[in-house]
Amino acid sequence: MEQRIQSLEQQIKQLKLTVIATVSLLLLVLAVAFTGKAPTSNIIRAKGIVIEDEQGRDRILIGAPIPTSNNRVRTDTNLVRKYWASTGADSNEYMQWYKNYRHNGNGIAILNEQGFDKVLLGDSLPDPNTGKRMFSSTGMLWNDDLGYERGGIGANKTTYGKYRSVVGLDDDSGEAVHLFTLEDGTKALRIAGVNGYLLIGLSQQSGGLFQAKQPFAGIKYFNNKGKLIWQQAMHQQHNK
């Protein structure tokens, strides 16, 4: 019985400490809320942060721009040539293209043990290692173990100042499944295969993604050369 009482007393003491800590934190939050000023000791200011793993390898890079790292493959031309450039004359051609790719951004880069970018989060994100982006992207990207892009979600600003939002999933052959909301009002799901791609959605204007002569809602299938092979418009189905 005495042991139970002592145990109960100990639990009560711990509960009191917890309550005191919680109330103190709540009072601090209320004080900050009413004064509109946060204690300066709670603010960390830095040009960049690099987090290492137990072996001392850079694994998380945080900054605006993302800090440089000797462990990052994409900024080491020797490793780029080793892992991403093909052999022979094509290798030199790739390296010439690669010099013009965007490798930096504002946000977070998470690297794997080998130094390949695995996850990128932020604004003005880097280009993939396979070519330049059409627009500057804000959002999140994820790559495979060798740094090849496998998907992402983001918003892009066009040269005309309008925005498009895209969710993309890639496979070994490249772009696989994409969900679009484009600046011209088009909403679509694009599914790419070996022989072509399927578009499901609607467009408010002629031309554009659906290559329509008038506003379109339905399904279209194009071959690899962009030629329309089959289509089914929603209004045609309704009239039947």
**How high is the pLDDT of residue 142?**
95
Say if strands 106-111 and 117-123 run parallel, antiparallel, or are unpaired: antiparallel
Strand-pairing partners, residue 177, are 169, 191
Which DSSP string do the residues of 183-194 spell out, in sequence order?
TTS-EEEEEE-S
Higher pLDDT, 7 or 184: 184
Least confident of 1-10, 184-193, 228-237: 1-10
- Average pLDDT value for the chain: 83
pLDDT digits (tens, 9 = 90+) for 66-88: 999 999 999 999 999 999 997 66
Query: Residue 147 and residue 128: Cα distance in Å, rounded?
Result: 8
**How high is the pLDDT of residue 44?**
81
C-alpha closest to that of 176 among 190, 166, 186: 190
CB environment 134-166: b (16+ within 10 A), e (fewer): eebbbbbbbbeeebbbbbbebebeeeeeeebbb
Query: Residue 158 and residue 147: Cα distance in Å, rounded?
Result: 26
pLDDT digits (tens, 9 = 90+) for 79-126: 999 999 976 658 888 999 999 999 989 999 999 999 999 999 999 999
Read off the pLDDT of each residue in 166-192 and give the average, rounded to a whole number: 90
